[in-house]
Structure 1
Amino acid sequence: MGLDLDYIDGQTPLDEDEKEGLLIPTIATHGELDEFEQQNIEQAVLWSLNRSFKVEAVLSENFIKAVHKRMYGKVWAWAGEFRRSNKNIGVDKYQIATELRYLLDDAKFWYANNTFSPDEFAILFKHRLVSIHCFPNGNGRHSRLMADIIIEKIFKQKVFTWGAANLVRQGDTRATYLSAIKAADKGDIQPLINFARG
């Protein structure tokens, strides 16, 4: 294929079969890939901003897949499809649908019972979603957009700033984000909420 990808800390490598799903054969570097993905993601963000969604629609497997497809469908043939390989993060590939169902059921319970504040709800959902790692690529960006959709469309509050930086690039902001993710992995969600609102 010729796609040469260098990965930074926290990025999940694609296997060769997944690289074959690239829809733009002229992309050769990670920088070029990031650029095309970002263009596609911006279109998905605009799509989400111009619509209203019902809670039950957002908290569904179909919506989770549809958002990923909108974010990456012009770049990857497998956009919106659960991964078929195991990665350095996430649940076993055969457990994705089951774990996602648990998350969605939990989120419906949280919503119905006002279990968490809006920020806690959205960030807990984002963290659980990225921990499942449903897709071959783009799980961090996808989970952040899902949190933004939840906070804006369900709770009618401002979207998160996510440190107001490009988290795909190496740097202090990304390091702070990854540190907050690791704290959330250990049960402390507050640093990730602070980062999202920072």
Structure 2
Amino acid sequence: MTADRLGGDEDGQTPVDADDAQYLNPAYASIATRAELNDAEADNITDALLWLGDQVLSTADLLCQSFVRELHQRMFGEVWSWAGQTRRRETTIGVAPAQIPERLQILLGDTAYWVEHGTYSESEISIRFHHLLVSIHPFVNGNGRHARLAAGALADTLGLGPGHLSWGARGGLPVAEARRQYLAALRQADRGDYTALLEIAAN
């Protein structure tokens, strides 16, 4: 499947894998290269951002499985037939498919608890939510991009504003370096240390 990226730093002329292409919606079946796919996905995600900006969401609205799935559908549904559907096969990252609904519900419940009891700062709640959502890896693809957008929406409902989490964009780093730092910070968060991910996400 397509790289779950912060930006389009891969070779745009690389052909789309035939195994992936079978899941393109009919309107996008003619896509042949990674660059064309990147553009199509970017347009779809822009539409999702516009939709999200029109919503009036509470934290409770966001912390439910129907919203998690709908956001993914809005981000990728124009391009991919699997958008919004939890994955049905094992992957190198993430929990077993049969565990996805339960693990998602645990994460949503834990996040609601953190918010209600002020367990962490609003920024850290959003970052922990993002990291654990990525760790579950509920969808076939787009999990990182989906989790970043969901975490940004959560931060907004917690009063931090829609642009609080920039994922390094304000730091002016080249895309490849920003991605390297982001992935390293995720690995550090896997060990329970969120320091680097907090620093990257809010800069």
Same fold (TM over 0.5): yes
Task: Please list, as runs of the form range in 1=range in 2, the aligned pairs for 1:79-94 lying within 5 A after superposition.
Answer: 79-94=83-98
Q: Which amino acid aligns with 1:59?
A: L
SS at match of 1:76: coil
Report if aligned partners of 1:53, 1:154 keep a CA contact under 8 Å in 2. no
Task: Please list, as runs of the form range in 1=range in 2, the aligned pairs for 1:6-155 lying within 5 A after superposition.
Answer: 16=19, 19-23=21-25, 24-155=28-159
Shift of 1:70: 0.4
Matched, 1:197 2:198: no
- Aligned partner (choices 147, 168, 192) of residue 187 of structure 1: 192
Q: Which consecutive unaligned segments of at least 5 residues does structure 2 have?
A: 7-16
Structure 2 length-normalised TM: 0.85
SS at match of 1:162: coil
**Aligned counterpart, 1:159:** 164
Q: How has the CA–CA distance of structure 1 residues 90 and 74 changed in structure 2, closer, same or farther, with 3 Å as cutoff?
A: same
Structure 1 length-normalised TM: 0.87
Once structures 1 and 2 are overlaid, which stretch shifts more, 25-34 or 79-88? 25-34
Report if aligned partners of 1:133, 1:139 keep a CA contact under 8 Å in 2. yes
Give a deviation string over 1:88-141, Cα, whole Å, max 9, x none: 100011111111011011011111111110100000000000000000010000
SS at match of 1:171: helix
- What is the RMSD computed on CA atoms of the aligned residues? 2.3
- Structure 2 CA distance, aligned partners of 1:6 and 1:127? 20
- Structure 1 CA distance, aligned partners of 2:88 and 2:70? 18
Once structures 1 and 2 are overlaid, which stretch shifts more, 52-61 or 124-133? 52-61
Q: Which consecutive unaligned segments of at least 5 residues does structure 1 have?
A: none
The sequence identity of aligned pairs, in percent, is 37
Report if aligned partners of 2:4, 2:145 keep a CA contact under 8 Å in 1. no
Q: How has the CA–CA distance of structure 1 residues 34 and 108 changed in structure 2, closer, same or farther, with 3 Å as cutoff?
A: same
- Structure 2 CA distance, aligned partners of 1:92 and 1:114? 31
Q: How has the CA–CA distance of structure 1 residues 182 and 130 changed in structure 2, closer, same or farther, with 3 Å as cutoff?
A: same
